[in-house]
Structure 1
Amino acid sequence: MSARSWLQKARPQKLPFRRRVSRAAVALIYRGEPGRDDALFFIQRAHRPGDPWSGDMAFPGGRLQPGDHSSRDTAMRETREETGLDLYRHGHYQARLSDLLTRHHSRWRPMVVTPHVFAWQGDDVLTLNHEARHGVWIPLDYLADPVNRATLQMKTPIGRLTLPCCRYQGYCIWGLSYSMMREFLHARAEAGKQA
């Protein structure tokens, strides 16, 4: 079963009010070619003053701009700007995942983030801009293995929270990125059961 067919069966949740609030989009880019491990691409965000997610692991992406034709176009444009990976030329669009609600990093206004999945068919050469510190391909088998799940303690104004995460070679995937990753892996696992 091709990735496109198993992802299209995932039936993503689209938030009905998404067109009334600020929007962003990200790209989940995976590879699975002969001679290379199946892997999912992450960036480590650069450290920037005032950015609450400085240094966090994320998928490339950003806010929709007036010139973008769609949230998919936003994810593709932002990925090329942040990493040099050209999804227009070397990415094969697969499907979208569920919308997620978050907030602007500088304000407490709501923002909807739409993840889009692409199969990568190019080389691994990166040209990171000022927004990304590192680019990392993490094996899908590692991400899917329950042994590699952990928790992250966060201090917040309402007290200490314990959040699920996945740690890999000093990197920690949590929050929205973790939720998107889990939806992607769940769809992949369900397809494997039906194959």
Structure 2
Amino acid sequence: MNLTTIAAQLSGHSPVIQEPGQRGHAAVAMLIKQGTTSPEVLFIIRAEHDRDPWSGNIGFPGGRLNDTNESPQQAAIRETFEELSVDLRPARYLGRLDDLFGATMPVLVSCFVYHVTEPLTLNPNHEVASTFWTPLTNLLESERHQQRNFYYRDKEHSLPAIELLEPQQPLLWGITYRLIRSFFDICAIDFGFSEAEEP
């Protein structure tokens, strides 16, 4: 797996673009850089907040569109700057993943992939508890994949997840898991794990 192949696969992909209808519309940015052994991806851990449905979860920087005049990509750029003080405008835009509807939430999520080449200074705002980079290859290691029970909206769900951090730390699951699976599908890399729906 290398950035040249990733860029070629994403540039040749025609993303499935959906209309949100009566749902909310959010946009996120997937930031990739060249690591020591393989490309690495940036994740955030969202700060705990009663009004945030993704509170405490691993995800990508991003948030809801401001109004009908803001494009999803503009929202992803704006939210990344607000949350991390990272300006994506000079970064290399690689492509867009397929839009995804939340499985249990009335929201449409659009994801835009960027290759960042300059060293980044991350300054998380109050919405972000912490950040971390991890090699893309870590996401493919079978020993990190597991089925876990999550309590979401007063219901228990048995869902696939990826353990990227120490025990007792958040797992990667839900719509971010689905976006990662979509990314590997587009890049023609065998993800090889569950097709279950997640929030």
Q: TM-score, normalised by structure 2?
A: 0.81
Match of 2:98 in 1: 98
The more displaced of 58-67 and 92-101 is: 58-67
Change (3 A) 1:82 1:166: same
Match of 2:58 in 1: 57
What is the deviation of 1:69?
A: 4.0
What is the deviation of 1:20?
A: 5.3
Q: Which runs of 5+ in 2 are unaligned?
A: 191-199
SS at match of 1:27: strand
- Residue type at the aligned position of 1:95: G
Distance in 1 between residues matched to 2:68 and 2:34, nearest whole Å: 32
SS at match of 2:172: strand
For residues 86-113 of structure 1, the C-alpha deviation after alignment (integer angstroms, 9 at most, x for no partner) is 1112x2111111111128xxxx972211
Match of 1:44 in 2: 45
Between structures 1 and 2, the one with greater helix share: 1
User: 2:8 matched to 1:5?
Assistant: yes
Match of 1:135 in 2: 131
Matches within 5 A, 1:13-162: 13-15=16-18, 17-18=19-20, 21-32=23-34, 35=36, 37-66=38-67, 69-89=70-90, 91-102=91-102, 110-156=106-152, 159-162=155-158
1:32–1:39: 8 Å Cα contact kept in structure 2? yes
The more displaced of 60-69 and 40-49 is: 60-69
What is the deviation of 1:157?
A: 6.3
Between structures 1 and 2, the one with greater strand share: 1
- Indicate the percent of aligned positions where both proteins have the same amino acid: 29
**What is the Cα-based RMSD across aligned positions, in Å?**
2.5
- Residue type at the aligned position of 1:63: R
What is the deviation of 1:37?
A: 4.1
Q: TM-score, normalised by structure 1?
A: 0.82
What is the deviation of 1:163?
A: 0.3
What is the deviation of 1:80?
A: 0.9
What is the deviation of 1:19?
A: 5.5
For residues 137-186 of structure 1, the C-alpha deviation after alignment (integer angstroms, 9 at most, x for no partner) is 01111112223211220235685321001011234100000000111123
1:68–1:74: 8 Å Cα contact kept in structure 2? no
Residue correspondences, number: 184
Match of 1:180 in 2: 179
Distance in 2 between residues matched to 1:55 and 1:157, nearest whole Å: 15
Distance in 1 between residues matched to 2:46 and 2:5, nearest whole Å: 31
1:144–1:185: 8 Å Cα contact kept in structure 2? no
What is the deviation of 1:32?
A: 1.9
SS at match of 1:51: coil
